[in-house]
Amino acid sequence: MDEYSGSMGSDADVAALVSIVGEVEGAAAVVRAGQVAEVRALAAAGQLAARQAAGSPAAVRAHDMALRSVAAELGGVLRVTDRTVQSRIDEARDLVEHYAATLAAWETGRITRGHVRVITDAGSVLVDASPERRAEFEAVAISRCERDTPNRLRSEIEILAERFAERSFTDRHRDAAAERRVRVVPGSAGMSDLIATLPTVIADGIIDRLTQQAQTIVDAREPGNAGSAFGARGAGDAAGAGDAEPDRRRIDQVRADVFSDLLLSGAPALDPTASGDGQGSLGAIRAQVQVIVPALTLLGVDDGPADLVGR
């Protein structure tokens, strides 16, 4: 068998590749022109709605109604929902009205749509900045985007935007941290997403500790070793732990099980009810849920789903 030499092949192959590259470049230019034209049209639609509502005693309500009307018309053309169109109109207006240089750089092919997203996302911290500072940030950001890919530049552009922001990062972080919370987003097949909005340093610390603990559990396995009552059969299936099945969980599953175990049975380190070296009462609090199981399922006639009250 001949070894691959790394050459481009015959002259005909080289010519074919050159032709394909030209076609792709031409198609990319057509797509880019269409995308820019769509952005400008959506921005114009949003500006039309704003003009229609101008001077109305209930300006906010009038603008909302006008925007919804415009969005409904465009939604029929784009085959998307009104709310999706409204979101795209807002993004288009922001780009056209606040990032004209970025739009121009995209239109001429100096940067890509991905670069535009990086710049506008990072520029969100400049909402209170003067037009001059925003323009200065934009110019530097565009020059950097011209030399690298969006993903590689994202962190660099975000740091650049922080330096041009009027409010300090500390002040903005303090306001953002005040919005920390935990929420549950119901999913399908009896699963849900538990989402915690936390300071990044805390979130990174949590995932690092969970990963270390999960890795320790995985490393401690022996061939044929049975999993723990809580873990090997998965969270919430401790009742069948006596089957002694080998622990074949992936590290993601182990990490999720450790996370659940800690929150359901662990004691918080910050416990205002603790006194001296003794533990407080927070660690004794246990979760409570109500589950309604159909009678036929209890009788073993079928395996229909139970109902978690409130879900």
Ordered DSSP codes for 174-227: HHHHTT-EEEEEE-STT-EEEEEE--HHHHHHHHHHHHHHHHHHHHT--TTPBP
Q: Which is more confident, 289 or 193?
A: 193
Strand partners, 181: 197
Give 38-55 pLDDT, tens digit per residue: 999 999 999 999 888 776
Instruction: Give burial (CB, 10 Å; 0-12/13-18/19+) of 213.
Output: middle
Nearest to 254 by CA among 208, 219, 217, 206: 217
Separation CA 54–CA 62 (nearest Å):
8
84 in Cβ contact with 91 (< 8 Å): no
Three-state DSSP state, 294: coil
Q: What is the DSSP letter of 226?
A: B
Tokens found for residue 166: 């009027």
Give the start-end residues of each E strand in 87-157: none
What's the mean per-residue pLDDT of the chain?
85
Question: CA 42 to CA 34: how far, in whole Å?
Answer: 12
Angstrom distance (rounded) from CA 185 to CA 166: 35
Please give the Cα distance from 6 to 44 (Å, whole number).
Answer: 51
Q: What pLDDT, on a 0 to 100 scale, did the predictor assign at position 149?
A: 96
Instruction: Give the model's pLDDT for residue 140.
Output: 97
Q: Is residue 2 scored above 60 in pLDDT?
A: no
Indicate whether 1 pLDDT > 70: no
User: What was the pLDDT predicted at 270?
Assistant: 73
Residue 119: Cβ within 10 Å count: 28
pLDDT tens, 88-107? 999 999 999 999 999 999 99
Structure confidence at residue 296 (pLDDT): 86
Amino acid letter for position 52 = Q
pLDDT of residue 29: 95
Residue 11 — φ and ψ, nearest 5°?
-60, -35
The tokens describing 242, both together, are 């006596």
CA–CA gap between residue 89 and residue 52 (Å, rounded): 15
Q: What is the pTM of this model?
A: 0.66
